[in-house]
Structure 1
């Protein structure tokens, strides 16, 4: 064989080896309910993160002179606090330093301590205000908090729907209690009469006893702090009992699953709030929805865009700081900003969004349909 060809081949192999050596794998963790009654939300969130990672790998970024290849490691936390801590530890043990999730406030509260102790940066949609009051430096909320979701629903009920008397039910989860508390606080400030709180669980399916009691009180609206697997049968039983009050709620009943589970009993009788502006009204919203539909053959639900943005804003901060150190990436998130599909991501000193619009929805044909940004 020609000596020049041999030398050329060796040189080529050396270049290929050098290029391979310059690639660094960065794991992005995801924690969410991938089994159980909330699995539809967990999978939607995971899909959003996966789409972002596939896009980043298609047009890779470089950090510290090395090409970054992102890998998604997704863990099922079952929407359960204990399982959430276990999922967090599993991600940490696998070397994950950046996490999008958890979804549930009740999971995020204990898991965030585990992540904080390991120096992991967390971007969550969990909305209980107490989450960002813990003082964990690298914990960011990438959506509206309960104080925004609950209070805006109360303001809309009082000012636009002209309600006078409302009831409140919560499912005793950290999210359900938090959003119900914020609704109640603003409802009273807005002059609404609020009946004594009723309670259920996130596993219940029969609400007839509570609803029968509330029917006798002739309320204009019933605010439910809880999730779609309970919200849908609640709407069905309200109709069966002849209750004409509107069913109100936050983002967790503002999902296509609510319409799917509730059928024709979920329509304009349900009014709910979601964090963020309308995807159809923002520049990159329609393109994101189309890309998601093409990749997963289903429509994006409530938080797919937030998880997609969460991955991208972390990658953007890595590029700006030229670092994979979670502390440096987190510092950039505090001082900088990122324009994503769901809006502008800039954070205050506690890790909350500086700007967080809330959109009010109802249902038409089983699908959440926007009324207005409020």
Structure 2
């Protein structure tokens, strides 16, 4: 489904201009969605970081509406795929069909070749359909009949899943969960928000306006990838990930039996990418430890596998991440303009800098 395109807008040249534009886009989504500020912000973080996002929450908490509104604001093409147990991979990525007119086989591409794919209730699909999404999410391409078809740019998969149903549900395997940059828990709205939902949605519901377009999004993604990460912050990120693998080395021996599998290196890269995106949204061209802490739970929690006893004791993965954040000391960089400019010049001359 095509969404209306934003008029050709000037590309933001400064971090302040980018932050203003991103704030305008987020506020447009908030016109439709009451509350859920964290979810809306994390959707923008995932987009800027060129990652995918998994939303988990009970039915009716506006997961699908938020994604639809977000896709409208950002511009580009949008498709919703309702995952069901009877789906087959060709329903998602496409297949070969025989053309009697041409007397040959032609490739019919699936609905996923758009800028935004909403994979609704992804855990309802069987394993072979979920695995068909792996190449698409990791490589942003699909192979059909020996040929490779790239996804459009920008490209993001936003999946939803319902945590309470167990009938006819196929839990996402670890390899599939690891492909999502962020996993965001979507809670119930608070009492005042519920009243605002009643007031806003009981009449003609508001609609979001188009703010961005694919060209602007690609430019903002490039700006996010150029946000400066200090060595102290990079080392802090690595320590956070290492603490999930060998917690005893970080004065948390009690977590050794709790954590069965720690975070993969994809979590390290995800923390850097998500922190850069959040820094750009906040109007900064450098990452602070607070940016890392703000995205750590959504980047790390779904990549940690707890042991059997911990699951039996109802240990929460988010509590484990919070404990790691509390125990691993964060650096306290002190900036002044002269030092920051020197660091930027040194960073810009490093070979291989993106």
TM-score using structure 2 length = 0.25
Rg bigger for which structure? 1
- The structure that is strand-richer by fraction is 1
Q: Which has the higher contact order (CA 8 A, sep 6+)?
A: 2
TM-score using structure 1 length = 0.24
